[in-house]
Every structure is written in C-alpha cells, then in structure tokens.
Chain A
Amino acid sequence: QSALTQPPSASGSPGQSVTISCTGTNSDVGTYDYVSWYQQHPGKAPKLMIYEVNKRPSGVPDRFSGSKSGNTASLTVSGLQAEDEADYYCSSYAGYTNLGFGGGTKLTVL
C-alpha cells in the first residue's frame, strides 16, 4: 500500500491541461513543503519534474507546474503534448529523512 494516494489514470487531448492529485496526511504532505513529482516513460528511470512543491529543475518545460493545498499536492501539465504520455509519481518527505511515494498515475494523451 502506497503512502500517498494518486488516481490510477488521467487523460487529456493535445493542447489541453490536466491535473494529477496526490493526497497524503498531516504527517507528510500537510506538514512539509517537500513534495516532488517524477515522470517515467516505459522501461526508463524516473525523471525529476518538480521539487519542493513547485520548483522546476533546469530543463523541465514551464508547462509543468506544482501546487499544494492542505494534505493534497497537485501536478498540472498545460499544453499537453504527445511526449507527456507517461506515468507520474509524487513523493513527499515524511519526517526523520523518510520518504513516501504515490502509487502512480498513468497519463494518456488522447
């Protein structure tokens, strides 16, 4: 059982926006502004897309944005492109250097 809850799937048409949620608890997402998001294409290693809730590493398009409200964090992908089709995982710090991951969301570009 994953520490964080994500919807198993999400979809959108090219050019549209889609938001993926990540629900935790007062022990992780709700307390710490340390939520990150990873993109994983089939057979590949995860790639960091967002860290510390809403910061983008160098090279990640600004179409990807993150936010948080209470115990739920969100990843929004704007202007969907075919290459955005992938699995997305959230992660949150949970105190004492512990980390939890969500179960993953499969994003389909229709």
Chain B
Amino acid sequence: QVRLQESGPGLVKPSETLSLTCAVSGYAISSGYYWGWIRQPPGKGLEWIGSIFHSGATFYNPSLKSRVTISLDTSQNQFSLRVTSVTAADAAVYYCARRYGDHHDFWGQGTLVTVSS
C-alpha cells in the first residue's frame, strides 16, 4: 500500500518561503508516476499546485508557476514543495499525492499552513 506523509512548518511569515516535504512509503518514487501537491484554503475548494514526473520533469499551475518549485529526493524517497513570497492567500491545507495520468489515487493526510507575522 502506498502511503504519503506531509511535514513542514505550520506557520510561515508573510513574504517568506513555504517549504514542505512528502515522505513516500510502499513505492519507490523513482520507479514511475507523477508526484504532486494540491492545496485547500480553509472552507474552500481544491487547487492543483503542480506535479513532478519520476524523471524529474516538473509541471506547475500557470497561476503559481513563478513562485513554486517541486523537487525529488530519490535517496530519501520523498519530494518537496517550495512556495516563495507567501501571502495570506497561500494559507491552506497542503496535500501531497501520487498522480496517475489525470487523477490522484493516493493522498497524504494533509498539513495546515498558516501565514502570519
């Protein structure tokens, strides 16, 4: 069974960089699939942030592309998200997930990130 677990600071100051990591167990991320991030502001809907192919190729939501970086660490079997210059609009529950084509089949439990000074 594939399992994903997000980790990282729950509080980020405005204008600073948000950094999260997703540890994967039950599957070697270098073996295949896309791996990605989705976020959900409190009380709102889901927003696709971006995906990284097992080869390292990245694909981002055009609305966030200038501030987002997703990377792989195959030695630790994990992948990461960085969002620069955060504002209150970036406050959300951040989910990591495995993407197979058009859909996400395995999800982490999510981690809440608050943006406040």
- The one of B38, B48, B61, B102 that contacts A52, using a Cβ cutoff of 8 Å: B102
Check if A98 sits within 8 Å of B59, measured CB to CB: yes
The interface size of chain A toward B, counting residues with CB under 8 Å, comes to 27
Check if B103 sits within 8 Å of A2, measured CB to CB: no
- The one of A35, A48, A98 that contacts B62, using a Cβ cutoff of 8 Å: A98
**Which B residues from 89 to 117 make CB contacts under 8 A with A?**
95, 101-105, 107-110
What B residues does A92 contact at CB under 8 A? 102
Q: Is B51 an interface residue (CB 8 A)?
A: yes
Q: Is B26 an interface residue (CB 8 A)?
A: no
- The one of A35, A47, A89 that contacts B46, using a Cβ cutoff of 8 Å: A89
- The one of B48, B95, B103 that contacts A45, using a Cβ cutoff of 8 Å: B95
A27 vs chain B, min Cβ distance (A): 12
Check if A97 sits within 8 Å of B103, measured CB to CB: no
Contact A101-B47, Cβ < 8 Å, known A45-B95, A46-B95: yes
Instruction: Tell me, in angstroms, the Cα distance from A47 to B104 when the chains sit together.
Output: 9
Check if B61 sits within 8 Å of A98, measured CB to CB: yes
Check if A51 sits within 8 Å of B103, measured CB to CB: yes
Instruction: Tell me, in angstroms, the Cα distance from A11 to B44 when the chains sit together.
Output: 19
Q: How large is the interface on B (under 10, 10 to 19, 20 to 34, 35 or more residues)?
A: 20 to 34
Check if A48 sits within 8 Å of B105, measured CB to CB: yes
Check if B45 sits within 8 Å of A102, measured CB to CB: yes
- The one of A35, A48, A102, A104 that contacts B104, using a Cβ cutoff of 8 Å: A48
What A residues does B62 contact at CB under 8 A? 98
Interface string of A69-110 (1 = CB under 8 A from B): 000000000000000000001011100111111111000000
In order of increasing CB-CB distance, the 5 nearest A-B pairs are A34-B102, A36-B103, A97-B59, A51-B103, A45-B107
5 other A-B residue contacts (CB within 8 Å) besides A45-B108, A101-B38: A34-B102, A36-B102, A38-B104, A97-B51, A100-B48
Q: List 10 A-B contacts (CB under 8 A).
A: A45-B107, A51-B105, A89-B46, A91-B102, A92-B102, A97-B59, A100-B48, A101-B38, A101-B48, A104-B45
